């Protein structure tokens, strides 16, 4: 069956509303039914590794790597194969990502500082969808890091001290002027 999926989820996210290109009839496919999973895009895993290839955060969504040893081997392989590429966001636009075919999977990735972001999809997945997932993951981690850094009292104190031009200005006035 030739299906073109739409992005609408119905019934609390359990069903994907698809449309049959031949008959133009809508179909509601149960996302928890394995018979229809091939019509909706799927992400195999999302990886965040440090500059040495060690795990910072990882999430696997399929059983393509059934054991911890298989997962660690895949992470080491993907890290080693992409290490020498030009996927640094300092060099490229922050919205740029690299796409590679590794071990039979499409991998979209980017590096910033000492963090390496990877999203893996099947070999028949749309690279733009995988890149969109990567950008969302990248933005979420960036937001979390900013929140953590801004709630660290020593960081806030050092920023206030560094930006203080007049020693007589109170801390509350400095914070109001920063906003």
Beta strands in the chain (DSSP E): 3-10, 15-20, 26-30, 43-49, 55-60, 98-102, 105-112, 115-121
β-pair partners for 110? 117
What number is the average pLDDT over the span 120-140? 90
* First-last CA distance in the chain: 56
In terms of average pLDDT, the best of 26-40, 120-134, 165-179 is 120-134
Neighbouring C-beta atoms of residue 158, cutoff 10 Å: 11
Amino acid 1: pLDDT: 39
Amino acid 52: pLDDT: 93
Which of 121-147 are b and which e, b meaning 16 or more Cβ less than 10 Å from the residue's Cβ?
bbeebeeebbbebbbebbeebeeeeee
Question: How many angstroms separate the Cα of 94 from the Cα of each of 18, 88, 102, 133, 148?
Answer: 33, 9, 23, 15, 21
Residues of the chain with CATH 3.30.450.60: 43-151
Question: How many angstroms separate the Cα of 74 from the Cα of each of 43, 111, 159, 172?
Answer: 15, 18, 41, 51
Amino acid 13: pLDDT: 46
pLDDT (tens digit per residue) in 96-106: 788 999 889 99
Supply the CATH classification number for the domain 43-151.
Answer: 3.30.450.60
Q: Evaluate whether 30 touches 15 at the Cβ level (below 8 Å).
A: yes
User: How many residues can be counted in the chain?
Assistant: 179
Query: Which of the 8 DSSP states describes residue 114?
Result: T
């Amino acid at each position: 069956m030739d299906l073109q999926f739409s992005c609408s989820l119905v019934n609390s996210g359990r069903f994907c509303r698809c449309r049959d290109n031949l008959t133009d009839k809508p179909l509601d496919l149960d996302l928890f039914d394995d018979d229809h999973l091939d019509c909706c895009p799927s992400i195999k895993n999302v990886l965040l590794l440090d500059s040495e290839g060690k795990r910072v955060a990882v999430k696997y969504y399929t059983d393509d790597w059934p054991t911890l040893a298989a997962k660690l081997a895949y992470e080491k392989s993907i890290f080693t194969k992409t290490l020498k590429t030009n996927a640094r966001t300092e060099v490229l636009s922050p919205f740029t990502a690299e796409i590679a075919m590794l071990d039979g999977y499409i991998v979209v990735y980017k590096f910033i500082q000492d963090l390496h972001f990877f999203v893996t999809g099947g070999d028949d997945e749309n690279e733009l969808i995988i890149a969109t997932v990567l950008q969302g993951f990248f933005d979420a981690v960036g937001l979390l890091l900013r929140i953590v850094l801004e709630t660290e009292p020593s960081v806030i104190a050092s920023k206030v001290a560094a930006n203080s031009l007049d020693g007589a200005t109170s801390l509350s006035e400095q914070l109001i002027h920063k906003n």
